[in-house]
Chains A and B, each alone.
Chain A
Amino acid sequence: MHILVILLLGLAAGILVGLMGIGGGTIVVPALVYLLGMTQHMAQGTSLFMQLLPIGLGALWVYWKAGEVDLRAGIVCAFGMLIGGYAGGSIAVGIPARRLQALFGLFLMMSAALLWRQAGERESGKDAND
């Protein structure tokens, strides 16, 4: 039962990965906290562990074939994220769990606002080139 929940969680996260081009951690972290009762730190560490493997490879292949990849920008982003990730991870382990959970919540709300804005711009036809 436990294992089935985890497998289904992975599948749901994966569909979001392909659909949105994101890593899936935004869904996996809260799901691990609420469905499996993990602590916030444990959920975040486990999410990072899961993302060590190129889990987006299947989705990337689909984008690659469609010519929708900026390889150079992607490589630059990877370096920046590697360095930034070390700073962020070091900060996180020193933050009390409750505060980290609240910060994570705020981060999700901010990401949601960004996504909303982006979708709104497209909807109003401002970005015609797509």
Chain B
Amino acid sequence: MIEAAAQGPWRIAAIFVTACVVGICSGLFGVGGGVLLVPLLVLLLGFNQHTAQGTSLIALVPPTGLLAFLAYYHAHQVNVKVGLLIIPGVILGGVVGGKLAERMSPWRMRIVFAILLFSLGAWQVASAWTK
């Protein structure tokens, strides 16, 4: 652990600045931000993996995307019905995934997920390009 690198108020300030950057990406891309927050907490702030994930989850309990959501809502870019239908599955799946994560140390799976994300990203770029 490299948490000795920054202590006290500096550490909090570093966390806050990191979170602001994550928030900008979150609003820009409609994601929760955890996908960015977790690696940054580990790589920049020396959190261990499980604590980074737990801390990211607690940061996502309050509606941190509220202001970003309102920006989309005013632009009429929200489908409420589909959003509501996704929620029950996510809550249920979250418990299952959390239990799985406690059981295993999912490093190989993390690499699989990274490949999946990268492919999705490449697909998005390619289809925007050819449209």
Contact with A along B7-44 (1 / 0, CB 8 A): 00000100111111111111111111111111111110
B125 interface hit (Cβ, 8 Å): yes
Tell me the bound Cα distance from A75 to B16 in angstroms.
9
Contact of B54 among A68, A90, A107 (CB under 8 A): A68
- Give the total number of A-B pairs whose CB atoms are below 8 A apart: 467
- B89: A residues at CB distance < 8 A: 7-14
Q: Are A99 and B53 in contact (CB under 8 A)?
A: no
Of B71, B86, B120, B129, the most chain A CB neighbours within 10 A belong to B86
Contact residues of B: prevailing secondary structure:
helix
- B57: A residues at CB distance < 8 A: 17, 21, 56, 59-60, 63, 69, 74
> In the complex, what's the smallest C-beta–C-beta distance from A67 to chain B, in angstroms?
8
> In the complex, what's the smallest C-beta–C-beta distance from A12 to chain B, in angstroms?
7
Q: Are A55 and B94 in contact (CB under 8 A)?
A: yes
Tell me the bound Cα distance from A111 to B56 in angstroms.
15
> In the complex, what's the smallest C-beta–C-beta distance from B2 to chain A, in angstroms?
9
Tell me the bound Cα distance from A45 to B74 in angstroms.
10
Known A17-B94, A52-B65: A103·B27 in contact at CB below 8 Å: no
Q: Are A76 and B49 in contact (CB under 8 A)?
A: no
- Size range of the chain A interface in the assembly: 35 or more
List which A65-83 residues lie within 8 A (CB) of chain B: 66, 68-83
Contact of B97 among A14, A61, A118, A122 (CB under 8 A): A14
> In the complex, what's the smallest C-beta–C-beta distance from B27 to chain A, in angstroms?
3
Q: Are B59 and A81 in contact (CB under 8 A)?
A: yes
List which B56-87 residues lie within 8 A (CB) of chain A: 56-75, 77-80, 82-87
Q: Which 10 A-B pairs have the closest CB atoms?
A: A23-B32, A84-B23, A14-B93, A18-B97, A10-B89, A88-B27, A80-B19, A44-B30, A21-B53, A105-B124
Could you pull out 13 A-B pairs where Cβ atoms are within 8 angstroms? A17-B93, A48-B78, A49-B72, A49-B78, A55-B87, A59-B95, A69-B54, A80-B16, A93-B77, A101-B127, A111-B35, A111-B117, A127-B49
A residues sitting closer than 8 Å to B (CB atoms) are 3, 6-30, 32-34, 36, 38-39, 41-64, 66, 68-93, 98-99, 101-119, 121-123, 127, 129-130
